[in-house]
Amino acid sequence: MSPAPTVLVLGGLGFIGRNFVPYLYENKLASEIRVVDKSLLITANLNPKQKEAFDNVEVKQKDLVDPASIREVFTREDDSSYDYVFNLAAETKYSQSERIYEERVYLLSVRNAEEAARRKVKCFVELSTAEIYQSDKNPSKEDEKIKPWTIIAKYKHKAEEKLKTIEGLNLVILRPVVIYGTGATMGLVPRIVCGRIYQYTKEEMKFLWAKDLKINTVHITDVVRAMWHITTWYEENEKANKGTLIYNLADQGNTDQEKINKHISNIFNIQTGFHGTITSNFAQLHLDNTTDEINDKHMRPWATLLRRNRIKNTPLSPYLDKELLYNNALSVDGTKITKETGFEYEVPQITDEKIQEMIDDFIVLNLWPVND
């Protein structure tokens, strides 16, 4: 039997990485795991399961834009190449300057991919985003119109296009929709935090736009499983040097605002609703003011809850960026990876239980206000 593959995880302390590394470790899938991130391990809010995994792999703090650092993290003790490289590193905060995204999304991906090609890595997996597709209520497939509707997505797509041209790069691009699950701090989390706030204020929680606005989802368990599945399938089926492969990641639940609100309503026992088209269109015309008003309305009671529960630091926030308040549908067909590679999703749709798992994990880490 050949030895297990060696793995390099770039940006491994983020949401996806802190789930992917334990998956590799617990299932003994890799003979060597190196994790690289700009953050220090000691500053990461890891739960016990994640902490055990990271305590048993190599973790380096490095700037993954800097060429010298990139060469160092790709260099193993015997100077051989890693078998698989997973690029999870990118700036994820919205509404930053385009210069930041140029450097920390585009250049980061390109420089690390070029190093992977130079070292003849067997498979380089680039985590992109489904926000690159044109907003449409009909599910987008991998070959459909590209029209990024966030600045991050714009630079993710720019990186994708450049990576496709790198000679010798064995490239797989994964385009997930909204990822949720243990360890998330963005995506659905601000809405879940809002649910806790409205439980406290005893008011109805209402969001902009209609109930059928698509916000498709995929659970983190399926994302990390798909990442590993695609690399082993890629190698076993001898896909190297045969062109770039692209796959969407989306569950079969066709999640929309109504479904998300229903789960939040069930968990917090609150009333939920929507402002509708007329009010939402007016809000969009004055989006800067609308964003400030919405965030001010939510941040004050959230701060009160944190103070009463003696929580001084938490990455959780109800803050909603204006880029995410536009009427943009995220509707994606995630079945190609199943049809072509045999991958099967384990979490077919979002449930109350899966959201509650996220909250329970926040409570364990003392990041969530339990008491009013």
Q: Cα(150)–Cα(98) distance, rounded to whole angstroms?
A: 11
Q: Alpha carbon of 328 to those of 117, 146, 191, 255, 320: distances in Å?
A: 36, 14, 16, 14, 14
Report the 10 Å Cβ neighbour count for 265.
18
Give the ranges where 286-345 is alpha helix by DSSP (H).
287-308, 336-341
Q: Cα(250)–Cα(338) distance, rounded to whole angstroms?
A: 11
- The radius of gyration of the chain's CA atoms, rounded to the nearest angstrom, is 21
DSSP reduced 3-state for 75: coil
Helix axes 151-163, 108-118, angle to 10 degrees: 20
pLDDT digits (tens), the chain, 372 positions: 678 999 999 999 999 999 999 999 999 999 999 999 999 898 888 999 999 999 999 999 999 999 999 999 999 989 899 999 999 999 888 878 899 999 999 999 999 999 999 999 999 999 999 999 998 889 999 999 999 988 999 999 999 999 999 999 999 999 999 999 999 999 999 999 999 999 999 999 888 777 888 999 999 999 999 999 999 999 999 998 899 999 999 999 999 999 999 999 999 999 998 776 656 666 666 666 777 888 899 999 999 999 999 999 999 999 888 666 666 789 999 999 999 999 999 999 999 999 999 999 999 999 999 988
Q: Which residues contact 152 (CB under 8 A, 6 or more apart)?
A: 90, 91, 92, 94, 101, 105, 129, 131
Q: Is 11 left (phi over 0), alpha (psi -120 to 50) or beta?
A: left
pTM score, whole prediction: 0.94
DSSP letter for 131, please. Answer: G
DSSP reduced 3-state for 186: coil
Exposure letters 315-331 (e unless 16+ CB within 10 A, then b): ebbbebebbbbeebbbb
Half-sphere exposure of 184 (CA within 13 A, CB side): 26
Residues of the chain with CATH 3.40.50.720: 6-181+216-254+330-349
Q: Which residues contact 198 (CB under 8 A, 6 or more apart)?
A: 204, 205, 268, 270
Cβ burial, residue 69 (10 Å; 0-12/13-18/19+):
middle
- So what CATH class is 6-181+216-254+330-349? alpha beta
Closest listed residue to residue 8, CA positions, set 122, 164, 168, 170: 122
